[in-house]
Amino acid sequence: MQYALILIAAYLLGSIPSGLIVGKLFYGKDIRQHGSGNLGGTNTFRTLGIKAGIAVTLADILKGTLAVYLPVIFGLEMHQLLPGIIAVIGHMFPIFAGFRGGKAVATSGGILLGYAPLLFLLVVLVFFLSLKISKYVSLSSMIAGVFAVIYSLFLKDPPLIIVVTALVLFVIIRHKANLSRIRNKTEPKVKWI
C-alpha cells in the first residue's frame, strides 16, 4: 500500500502545472491560450518573459528531483527512478490541468539532478552548447537527451539506461510538431544566446 501511495504522490507532484499557476497567479494569463499552448518552461519564457520562464523551469525540475527522493524520505525500499518517471508522466498528463501538460524536458532533467547530478550538469552543458549553435530549444532538448542516453551507457546502471532511454523517447515524441516546424523553417529561434 505504501508503494502505491508513493507512486500516486509522484504522479500528483508531477501534475502540479507550474506554468499554469505562475501564468494565472502573477500575469492573469492561461499560457495554454498563448504561444505553443504548452505548459512548459519554453512557452512560459515566450509568453510571460524571463522571470516567469526561470521560475517555471526550476519548479518543473524540482518536481522530478523531489519525486526521486520520495522513497528515501519515506524510508521505502523502492528504486528511486520509478517515482521519478511517474512524476514525468504526471507532468505530461497532469490531472490538475485537463491532462494537457508539458513536454517533459525539465522534469526529466530533475530526475537526473536527483539521481545522477554529474550527468545532469553535462546534459545542461550539451543543451546550452547546442542552443548556442542551433538557436532551437526543441532541437537542443532532443540532442541533450540523446547525449544522456549515450553517456548513461558508460555508467553501467541498467535502470538508469532504461529510464533515460524512455524519457528521451517521451521528449522526442512530444516534440514531433517541433521537428516538422524545424524542417519547414517555421520553428521560433531564441535570440538571447
Question: Residue 36: what pLDDT?
Answer: 83
For 24-61, the pLDDT digits (tens) are 999 999 999 998 888 888 899 989 999 999 999 999 99
For 57-92, the pLDDT digits (tens) are 999 999 999 999 999 999 999 999 999 999 999 999
Q: Which of 165, 183, 10 is nearest to 82 (CA)?
A: 10
| Residue 180 in grid coordinates | 516538422
The structural domains of the chain, with segments of one domain joined by +, span 2-183
Question: Residue 106: what pLDDT?
Answer: 95
| Residue 163 in grid coordinates | 529510464
Alpha-carbon distance of 172 to 188, in angstroms, equals: 17
Question: Residue 73: what pLDDT?
Answer: 94
Number of C-beta neighbours around residue 38 at 10 A: 22
Question: Residue 105: what pLDDT?
Answer: 93
* Model confidence at 193: pLDDT above 80: no
For 117-135, the pLDDT digits (tens) are 999 999 999 999 999 999 9
Question: Residue 134: what pLDDT?
Answer: 95
Predicted structure pTM score: 0.92
Number of C-beta neighbours around residue 138 at 10 A: 24
CA 66 and chain centroid, separation: 13
Question: Residue 111: what pLDDT?
Answer: 97
Q: Are 64 and 108 in contact (CB under 8 A)?
A: yes
Number of helices followed by number of strands (H, E) in the chain: 10, 0
For 99-122, the pLDDT digits (tens) are 998 888 999 999 999 999 999 999
Question: Residue 190: what pLDDT?
Answer: 85
Could you tell me what percent of the chain has a pLDDT over 70? 100
